[in-house]
Amino acid sequence: MTEFADLIARVARTGVFSLVLVAAAGATGFYGGAAADETEAATGDEDPFLWLEDVEGDKALTWVRDQNKRSLAVLQEDPYQALYEDALSILTSDARIPYGQIRNDVVYNFWQDETHKRGLWRRASVASYRTGAPAWETVIDFDQLARDEDRNWIRGAIACLSPEYRHCMVELSDGGKDAGIWREFDTKTKTFVDGGFFIPEAKSSVEWFDKDMLIVGADTGPGSLTESGYARTLRAWSRGSSLSEAPLIFEGDESDVSVGAVIEHEGPRAHVFIFRARSFFDYEYTYAEGDKAPVKLPLPLRATLEGVLDGEAIFFLREDWRHDDSVFKQGSVIAYNLATGAAETVFDASKMQSVEQIGVGKSGLVIQYLDNVVGKAARIARNSDGAWALTPIDMPENGVVSLVSVGGGVDDALLSFESMTTPDSLYFAPAEGEPGKIAQLPPLYDASDIVVEQRFAQSADGETVPYFIMAKKAVLEAGDAPTVQYGYGGFLSAQLPVYYSDPGRPQHGALGGKMWVNRGGVLVLTNIRGGSEFGPRWHEAALKANRQRSFDDFIAISEHLIATGVTSADKLGAVGRSNGGLLMGAVMTQRPDLYAALDIGVPLFDMKRYNKLLAGASWMGEYGNPDLEDDWAYISLYSPYQRLEKDADYPKVFFYTSTKDDRVHPGHARKAAAKLASLGHDFFYYENIEGGHGGTANQEQLAHRTALEYAYFMRMLMLGDEGAE
């Protein structure tokens, strides 16, 4: 560890740290992973469709193209074109609010529209931005870059060196994969640096120490990656040297998810944290300041670092923590004194509350939390007596509040408010005083006669589970309406009733309102266990052996919709993607009688092999290890791929995935469809040849896919599946 101590000393002397300006879209925690071993034999009974795991194999892609051709010939019939135009008008609207991050006196923003499909990274002065009509300056035109280099570049993360934010590392991926290359960029000259830092394609992490040194977790050869395909080692890479020969400063185990670094700077002090992700949710933190020896922090494994304020590390606790004869509660925010080891509670969430976002400003915190799934925000800082005091931020009620920008060396913040029928508004919240609206998204659809209600269903074990229902008032009053029910239920991800966010999703208020509700449908957003709607307890309730609770919650809401006359089984459809795709597979195989249509996107489906495919090994903290007999005993009870049956009466489902998805293997969707066909069941299938885990690489592709989804639901729930063969 001597190289690490030397590196810490250098960081302290230089007084620099890094900050991600534009984060790659993603959910909580780590995603990504190594490519599957295509030659590995199936576990247990021989799988006749294992060849479909060969992502870009000729045989597999021929099957994909045949399925695309067959399904698109039907799904692109009327009313597809009208739906596509509806979706594109929203996804490329110039009226969308250009959300950005304040850095010094500049706001940085990433923007896509019909002209800039790959997007612009651009900036404007804070003064200009606050007027609501920013004078933008383009920093990188990713469409032009792709043309100039004849590459299918899709923008990834951008990490810049503070406080100047001139020296940056820009991630570029091929077609939208999680893996990407990193290239050094100069925001002053607005050019890539000739002979600058370059990291080959991998799922890498990058942090700046100074303009001549990076701390990097990357694929540097055998032994450098975990089983999940993330960095197992961290290296201190100096300009002009070879990355593979850079000094090794930290390494974890191959069974870890990842290792990485975070550096927080306060004046001349540099706080360096090395984290080791033992699982998707369990982290160990090592800390050092200056040339002091690094020490392992005594925090519980389920704690996440949010920043440093006045020498205190701010952590969010996802489990109870006993420390210094005190118990700090699960779901609370705490301050840990890095010099003395003392800890204090900053915010103690109630049973009905959930802390969702924490921003560390110059002299205090801004938090966004849910109270019975309704958004709230507050400032928290020490008062004159040294105690932590909360001051609510006056935001509109009964909607979704989000932190857009907190920090950047100031206490001013940007927040947003929206609901499924209320377009986004952007607020500038000064360090002192009330927030003021600086931008308002105009209505993207007619919501004048649409109502949104929060309702509750009782799950199989008696738990009360909330959901939101959106429909025209007359449709709800009439009842028995075509209904689409959305669910996710995993990975601490709360599903909130938003109007619109990037990337667009079919359950968002604007897209769902314009494409479905305005055509007489009902849209339902569920808050099933597995998410974070009521804090970490809501997530833990559906972990591993308790996964069935998430499925039971979703089924209970479906039954409640039918029992209360909102819809009927022959008019009820459901949609979910990724972990939500697993949810769809589970309800499909357990209660096919409840649904007339199921939209299953980029799904997990074969839970016997999920940990062997791409990033699957990193999710065993969520689902368990199917290679262990005890874990497979409960996973096998719901794994959709193994539970498909010949004589079951399944609805005609719609699968979609992406060839370039290097997070959830496209083999899941491919094999599910192929097995259904072998059992005599029909289905629709669409696989985009690019697009990563999002399934699309630009707004046109997203409009196309969203139109296919609602065309499918209209066909199955409103028009009937006539002439589908």
Catalytic-residue membership of 116: no
Task: State the alpha helices, DSSP H only, in 536-607.
Answer: 536-540, 548-563, 579-590
Vertex 72 angle, CA 722 and 659, to 5°: 140
Q: Kindly give the pairing relationship between strand 436-440 and strand 572-577.
A: unpaired
In sequence order, the 6+-apart residues with CB closer than 8 A to the CB of 194 are: none
Burial group, residue 223, by CB count within 10 angstroms (0-12, 13-18, 19+): exposed
Instruction: Give residue 152's Cα distance to chain centre.
Output: 23
Burial group, residue 464, by CB count within 10 angstroms (0-12, 13-18, 19+): exposed
Catalytic choice (265, 665, 693, 704): 693
Catalytic-residue membership of 405: no
DSSP state of 444: S
Answer for the pair 42, 606: CB distance below 8 angstroms, yes or no.
Answer: no
Measured distance CA(12)–CA(1) in Å, rounded = 17
Vertex 369 angle, CA 499 and 458, to 5°: 75
In sequence order, the 6+-apart residues with CB closer than 8 A to the CB of 48 are: 678
Determine phi and psi for 63, rounding to 5 degrees.
-60, -45
Catalytic choice (332, 578, 618, 658): 578
Element (H, E) at 60: helix 58-75
Measured from the Cβ of residue 89, the count of other Cβ atoms closer than 10 Å reads 15
User: Per-residue DSSP letters for 255-289?
Assistant: TSSEEEEEEEEETTEEEEEEEEESSSS-EEEEEEE
Answer for the pair 185, 199: CB distance below 8 angstroms, yes or no.
Answer: no
Closest CA to 566 of 465, 475, 447, 448: 475
Closest CA to 227 of 473, 475, 35: 35
Closest CA to 662 of 12, 24, 4, 8: 24
Which positions are catalytic?
A: 578, 693
